[in-house]
Amino acid sequence: MSPLRLHVHADAGALAEAVAAQLAEAASAGIAARGEAWLALAGGSTPLAAYRSFAAMPLDWTKVQIVASDERWVPAGHPLRNERALAEAFAAAAGVRILPLVPARADAGGFATPAALPIGSAAVSDSRLHSAEASLAPLRHRAFDAVLLGMGSDAHVASLFPRSTPPAALDPGGHEPVVAVTPDPLPPAAPVPRVSLTLSRLIASHALLLVITGEAKRGVLEAARTRPALDAPVQALLAAAPDLAIHWSP
């Protein structure tokens, strides 16, 4: 078993600055190469400081597009929505575009819950899911310049949860970019269904980062290396992405 590509930082502040610098480098490379940067970023509290530092950097933010790596199935503006947290974290980045991963009305209309969506089908990533279908067309066709992920204490990444994620969504050679997942059991802090980018879509990136803090999370990560991917989805990520940059602080 090869060693993890682990970047150890003295504390959370040092981690945030290092991650922000790596995101800025990836975004700048995307803008230089293709005229725009395309990022998928995790929600949750751990990376918010890095996002705020990144947002304060002197990029041409009008050329940066961001989508959440996963989203809670709640209406736009809801406190649980990752899109809202990203918009708040990037408030200083004038002109940045935060693209929705689920419809603005996720509680009514065409679908009451993502369980009503055809799991793993192309329809999930087209007009029936996205309220900005044209803007999100790159989900099916273009690599990200950077993807940043966190990891839960149950070894989930994005919203690819243990024993709740269809196996096809953990296939690094899969063809569908988005999957609907209802965690079982539902996490107490956010007891709602989810939509997530699939493993194959997450690893289609020029820079791939996993950001975790604390001894407990590091233990979960190490233990996941010997577990089946369906029980510890982060293991699927580790196996599929040998160049994964893991940023950790105590």
pLDDT value at 55 more than 50: yes
pTM attached to this predicted model: 0.89
Average the pLDDT over 41-69 and give the result: 96
Q: Which two tokens stand for residue 244?
A: 């994964």
Q: Where are the domains of the chain?
A: 6-249
Q: Which two tokens stand for residue 2?
A: 């090869």
Average the pLDDT over 48-68 and give the result: 97
Q: How confident is the model at residue 100 (pLDDT cuts 50, 70, 90)?
A: confident
| Dihedral, 56, 26, 35, 150 alpha carbons, nearest 10 | -80
55 three-state secondary structure: helix
Judge whether 184 and 123 are in contact, CB under 8 Å.
no
Judge whether 170 and 229 are in contact, CB under 8 Å.
yes
Q: Domain 6-249 maps to which CATH number in 1.10.3720.10, 1.20.1260.10, 3.40.50.1360, 1.20.1530.20?
A: 3.40.50.1360
Q: How confident is the model at residue 139 (pLDDT cuts 50, 70, 90)?
A: low
C-alpha atoms less than 13 angstroms from C-alpha of 220 in its C-beta half-sphere: 19
Tokens 């509680």 appear where?
107
Beta bridge mates, 24: none
Most confident of 5-9, 52-56, 78-82: 52-56
- pLDDT tens-digit readout, 194-231: 889 999 999 999 999 999 999 999 999 999 999 999 99
- Give the CA distances from residue 172 to residues 104, 153, 177, 201, 204, in Å, rounded to whole numbers and listed in that order: 29, 22, 11, 8, 9
- pLDDT tens-digit readout, 116-137: 443 333 333 333 344 334 445 5
Residue 75, Ramachandran bin (φ over 0: left; ψ between -120 and 50: alpha; else beta): beta
